[in-house]
Structure formats: structure tokens, C-alpha cells
Structure 1
Amino acid sequence: MSDVERLREYLHRMQDAARQALGFVSDLDLERFQEDVRTQMAVTMAFVLVGEAASRISARFPDFTEEHPEIPWARIKGMRNLIAHDYYELEMPLVWDTLQRELPNLIAQIDELRSRHVQGE
């Protein structure tokens, strides 16, 4: 797999996991989310997957992350680390807020990146 293909794959993984997370809660509100441990686990695993792909992009393609500061790479990796290492310290309202406010933006930003890079920019 070429570097370009690998980068595209990591971006796809980020976007796919973000979409899945949003899908897991599409029929829930915050109260129901806080009561649904199974969905919490699914959503937080999706965040881990988003963060892991972001971490790989940062490690393998540091120039790319520098060229695209609109993506909060460090915050994404920080969320992944918090979930992976301090899961029981998570505040589900914060997870919910991040899910609702940040993931739609991330999906749109990755769409933009992918379309620009497909066109050769």
C-alpha cells in the first residue's frame, strides 16, 4: 500500500468511526444515553478508533497534520487516551457534547480533505 493509499485509509477509518458513533445515538437524547451503558461503550470505542487513526496519521504523516490544523489532531488523540487509560473517569455529558458538536464537523472536514486530495491538491 502506498503512502497516499494509507493516508486515505486512515482518514476513511476516522470518518467511518465518527459516523458509526453518531449512528449509535441517532434515536437517543442525553438522558437515555447516560442510562445506556452498551451505547456508551460503543460510542467510546468509536472515539478510540477515531483517535487511533489520528495518531497514526500524526506519526506517519506529520507534514499532513501541520498542513491541516483545522482538524484538532491533539484533542482527538487526547480523547482517545482518556478513554483508553481513564475510562472510569469519563464524564458522559462531555462525551455526549463532543459527539454532538465535534463529530459532525470532523466528518465534514474529512470530506473536504478527501475531495481536495482526490483532485490532487
Structure 2
Amino acid sequence: MDERTAERLLYLDETCAEIALLAERGREAYDRDIAVARACQYSIVRLAADIERLGSGWIAAHPSVAWTLIRGMRNRIAHDYLTLDGGIVWEAVTQHVPTLREQLQADIETAKAMLSGPPDR
């Protein structure tokens, strides 16, 4: 893993952590508060952007991760928002994103260790 990929993984991890905080607010808050719903939606769009920045080679090297699910959700939010099903978004927030984060945890830990070492001289 190169330094750039490590940085991108940490951005992805940060986005997943933010989504987890939104999920803690609960489904009722998602349904009741448009700001929470929009924050969840935006965070999924941002997560898809984080994934894209990893590059197609890195993504291809991790075939067990449901990359297309996040990309597909991003496209629905960005382009088909009038028909967006809140239940599906909530499922992504509470189930699919945590699974993604868990699948990448070893790589995230490697990235953290790599970037926390002594500075290059």
C-alpha cells in the first residue's frame, strides 16, 4: 500500500465513522428530521467518492467488498432522488456501510500504522 492509498483509506474510514454517528440518531430521527436524512444521503455520496479515489486497481483487488452497492446508492441519491426510498438509504447507513468498514478494517489499520510512523527525512 502506498501513502496515497493509505490517506484515502483514512478518509473513507472517517466518512464511515460519520455515517455511524448519524445511524446512532436512529430511524425515527432519519424519518422526522430532513437534515439527518440529507446528511445520511450526502455521506453516502461522499463515501462513493472516497471509494472512487482508491482507484480501479485497488477496488479490483478487493472483490469481496460490495463496491457496486455503494456506487449504485450514490447514483440513486444524485440522479433519482425523487424516487429515493428512505428505507433503502437507512439500510445502507445501518447495514452496508458498517459491513464495508469491517471488511476494510485490516487495511485501515495498516494505513493508520503506516501514516503514524516517523516522518521521512
**TM-score normalised by the chain length of structure 1:** 0.80
Structure 2 equivalent of residue 99 of structure 1 = 93
| Counterpart among 40, 45, 56 of residue 43 in structure 1 | 40
Structure 2 equivalent of residue 31 of structure 1 = 28
Structure 1 equivalent of residue 4 of structure 2 = 6
Moved over 3 A (4+): 115-119
Amino acid at match of 2:3: E
**TM-score normalised by the chain length of structure 2:** 0.80
Any stretches of 5+ residues in structure 1 without a counterpart? Answer: none
Identity %: 25
* In 2, Cα distance between equivalents of 1:98 and 1:31: 16
The aligned length equals 113
Q: Relative to structure 1, is the Cα distance of residues 27 and 114 closer, same or farther in structure 2, using a 3 angstrom cutoff?
A: closer
Any stretches of 5+ residues in structure 2 without a counterpart? Answer: 115-121
Amino acid at match of 1:37: I
Bigger mean CA offset, 16-25 vs 35-44:
16-25
Larger RCO of the pair (alpha carbons < 8 Å, separation 6+): 2
Q: CA RMSD in A?
A: 2.0
* In 2, Cα distance between equivalents of 1:83 and 1:9: 26
